Chains A and B, each alone.
Chain A
């Protein structure tokens, strides 16, 4: 059972109130990009055992999208944060580092 704090309505939402939105911080490659870039954007996804950054939506709640940092192996949640950012904020990175020293995820660490 996963419980994520929705940063928009402040509710600690049960997993069954949420809709999973897949990997966070995807960089879009559209018209004008190379085939490799476009393929990576469409199909290339992280699938870590450990630290993961994801998008979630409080579907049966306030309806807002947000980001979550959690461990896929233990379901430990390091924190949730605004959807309006392109990278995990400093306090989220610090919270992950405190629990998983030396972690890295795509270009973040």
Chain B
């Protein structure tokens, strides 16, 4: 098996906030009936966290579940575990209408950390990022300038986000420009 590398091989930018490629990440798209007990058991078993409700992110360490739409979840887990986990989830859902896809190699994941992280993201997305509107435990799909992305918070200040792998350079440049020292707006 070939060695897996993330899109930007750990690229890092340090400014008012730190923007970093977080390396390969296991990601499984699961679509189906989210109220189906079989599906709930399969995905919570794979991620080791509770089932998320609407727009909730349940992430603990490398594992987690993101609510992507009324019939779609993203399962996060260590890169190496994704193929076997996807197979196991698919097996558990056999016979019911569903889709399970290991999309680990089709996505790029970035961490935006530091006190200015919230402002960096807010410059690029139309999503409401006021502290009263978005915080840890939530996930939001939106756009960053011209590309789609989903993001969540790993603590009170830091964010993680992913986009399509083919757009990784665009996203990294975008975030880095917004995170340059002296480019603060001071809104939050």
Residues of A participating in the B interface, judged by any CB pair closer than 8 Å? 8-14, 16-17, 60-64
Nearest Cβ on chain A to B130's Cβ, whole angstroms: 12
CA distance A64 to B55 in the complex (A): 14
The interface bits of chain B over 127-163 (1 if a CB of A lies within 8 angstroms of the residue's CB, else 0) are 1100000000000111100001000000000000000
Assess whether A10 is in contact with B55, with CB atoms less than 8 Å apart. Answer: yes
Show 26 residue pairs from A and B whose CB-CB distance is below 8 angstroms, ordered by the A residue.
Answer: A8-B69, A9-B54, A9-B69, A9-B70, A9-B141, A10-B54, A10-B55, A11-B55, A11-B127, A12-B128, A13-B126, A14-B127, A16-B143, A17-B126, A17-B142, A17-B143, A60-B141, A60-B142, A60-B148, A61-B141, A62-B69, A62-B72, A63-B69, A63-B72, A64-B69, A64-B70
8 Å CB contacts to A: which residues of B43-63? 54-55
Q: Give B123 Cβ to nearest chain A Cβ, in Å.
A: 14
- Count of A-B contacts judged by CB separation below 8 Å: 37
Q: Is B17 an interface residue (CB 8 A)?
A: no
Closest to B147 in A: A60
Given A63-B69, A64-B69, A64-B70, also A14-B126 (CB < 8 A): yes
C-alpha spacing A86/B143, complex, angstroms: 30
The distance in angstroms between the C-alpha atoms of A60 and B128, with both chains bound, is 14
| Cβ-closest 8 pairs across A and B | A14-B126, A62-B69, A60-B143, A61-B141, A60-B148, A8-B70, A16-B126, A63-B69
* Chain A contact residues: helix, strand, loop or mixed: loop
Distance of A12 Cα from B55 Cα, bound (Å):
13
Cα distance A62–B68 in the bound complex, in angstroms: 6
Question: Which residues from chain A contact B128 at a C-beta distance below 8 Å?
Answer: 12
Once bound together, how far apart are the Cα atoms of A64 and B182, in whole Å?
Answer: 39
In the assembled complex, the Cα of A12 lies from the Cα of B69 at a distance in Å of: 14
Instruction: For A8, give the chain B residue with the smallest CB separation.
Output: B70
Closest to B150 in A: A61
A residues less than 8 Å from B68 (CB atoms): 62
Q: How far is the CA of A66 from the CA of B142 in the complex (A)?
A: 17
Q: Kindly provide the distance from the CB of A11 to the nearest chain B CB, expressed in whole angstroms.
A: 7
Cα of A63 to Cα of B68 in the assembled complex, Å: 9
**In the complex, what residues of B have CB within 8 A of residue A14's CB?**
126-127
- A62 contact set on B, CB distance < 8 A: 68-70, 72, 141
CB-defined contacts of A13 to chain B, threshold 8 Å = 126
- Specify which chain A residues have a CB less than 8 angstroms from the CB of B69 in the assembled complex: 8-9, 62-64
Q: Report the separation of the CA atoms of residues A60 and B68 in the bound assembly, to the nearest whole angstrom.
A: 11
- Which residues of the other chain, A, contact B70 by a CB distance below 8 angstroms? 8-9, 62, 64
| A62 to B126 CA separation, bound complex (whole angstroms) | 15
- Bound CA–CA A61/B127 (angstroms): 10
